[in-house]
Amino acid sequence: MIWQFDIIILIFLVITAVISLRVKDLLAASMVFGTYSFLICLLWAGMGAVDVAFTEATVGAGISAVILIATVYNTRRDSSD
Residue 55 per-residue DSSP state: H
By the rule CB under 8 A, 61 interacts with another protein? no
Per CB under 8 A, which of residues 9..48 are in contact with another protein? 10, 13-14, 17-18, 20-21, 26, 29-30, 33, 36-37, 40, 43-44, 47-48
Q: Which residues of 16-53 are buried (b: 16+ CB within 10 A; e: fewer)?
A: beeebeeeeebeebbbbbbbbbbbbbbbbbeeeeeeeb
Point out which residues bind another protein (CB under 8 A).
1, 3, 6-7, 10, 13-14, 17-18, 20-21, 26, 29-30, 33, 36-37, 40, 43-44, 47-56, 58-60, 62-64, 66-76, 79-81
